[in-house]
Structure 1
Amino acid sequence: MAKINGNEIRPGFVINHQDRLWVAVKVDHVKPGKGGAYAQVELKAILGGTKLNERFRSAETVEQVDLEFRDFTYLYEQGDSLVFMDQDNYEQVELAKDFVGERAAFLQDGMKITLEMHEDTPLGIKFPANVVLEVKEVDPVQKGQSVSSQFKPAILANGLRVMVPPFIAVGERILVDTTEATYMRRAD
């Protein structure tokens, strides 16, 4: 951890404030006519997600936390947990499904993910930008629909429901954006 002045905080910085870890979401630097300059910072708690608006004067110091990014491989699901293996030392870590969230539906055997760690505690998870999934069900295209609204609902192998173009059929493999959970294109 490094000490930085309050006016050096930038969006995305992780700081230790009030014995909790916070990420700076929005930072406004204010220079009033009277008094000293300060940074008005919107903070979001890394664990719990609560928000806090805080004012940091340039003379104040805060601890900037350096996160470690480590690569893991998804192994399997065990009850309410998901098991991952560290690619460097082969140690296994279990994460609650709630920690991973809805995007756990994208996990596939052997998938590489990145965990944001602080003192060996996972704080966040990064998935690959997209995954290839098979289409299991599609609704038929409605006759008379305008060209602009011809996307139709499809259910993928992982149970996810996405909108796809009319030419996509059952059994096809498509590329899906893991951030937005949306169709991108047919898989090669």
Structure 2
Amino acid sequence: MKESYSGNSLKSGLKILIQNQPYEILFSEFIKPGKGQAFVRIKLKQLLTGKLFHQTVKATDIFYSADITEINVSYLYNNGLNWIFMCKKNFEHIYVLKKFLFGCEKWLTNTSNCIIMLWNSSPISVYIENFIQLKVIDFNVAVQGDTVNSSSKSVTLETGAKVRVPLFIKKGDYIKIDTRIGKYISRVNK
């Protein structure tokens, strides 16, 4: 039997069903006006699409928990249609469609550790670590002395992703990337 929650017990991180679709609560605020019925403002993420929503619900509304599990995996390879991961616990292979990667595929290497979210035992999203280290394999030549117009250059990383980095970064350097925003953080000494 699914666990149930009233509107006033909704908390950040909780995964619930709304119209038979899984949502994660990102933010909730209980409001008791001077007059009238109490209500809750919530910010939701639709777990199948990644879209964000704001909704107001009554404090007495009932919601049911979504059957969501998270497993730690390592990225193996992709065949163009599916991205294949290996469960660290039982070495089982898990096939994930590209639409459930939500852009993290451009950061994946064969050493990437990820979390796969399963809904009713089917993968619905993949999360990569917030900070990763990748090797620079190519770069656009910056014109020396042209720091007035640009103090950065575009580089290609080992995964094929392109990011802007400071001019001192060279081919073969390792850099730290924030995968949530896709930006350079720092150079890494290896």
Q: Deviations over 1:127-162 (max 9, x none)?
A: 12213222312322441524x952222222322221
C-alpha separation in 2, matches of 1:103 and 1:52: 21
Counting matched residue pairs gives: 187
Q: Which residue of 1 aligns with 2:86?
A: 85
Give, in angstroms, the shift of residue 6 of structure 1: 0.7
% identity of equivalent residues: 24
Give the unaligned 5+ runs of structure 1.
Answer: none
For the 8 Å contact 1:141–1:150, the answer to whether it is kept is no
For the 8 Å contact 1:141–1:152, the answer to whether it is kept is no
Q: Does the residue aligned with 2:102 lie in a helix, a strand or coil?
A: helix
For the 8 Å contact 2:102–2:126, the answer to whether it is kept is no
Q: Which moved more, 1:162-171 or 1:45-54?
A: 45-54
1:46 aligns with 2:79: no
Give, in angstroms, the shift of residue 12 of structure 1: 3.2
Give, in angstroms, the shift of residue 92 of structure 1: 1.0
Q: 1:186 to 1:76 in 2, by over 3 A?
A: same
C-alpha separation in 2, matches of 1:34 and 1:2: 31
Q: 1:75 to 1:56 in 2, by over 3 A?
A: same
Q: Which residue of 1 aligns with 2:68?
A: 67
For the 8 Å contact 2:136–2:155, the answer to whether it is kept is no
Q: Deviations over 1:46-86 (max 9, x none)?
A: 21345655443223321133632211111111131111111
Q: 1:102 to 1:4 in 2, by over 3 A?
A: closer
1:170 aligns with 2:181: no
Q: Which amino acid aligns with 2:81?
A: D
Q: Which residue of 2 aligns with 1:131?
A: 133
Q: Does the residue aligned with 1:88 lie in a helix, a strand or coil?
A: coil
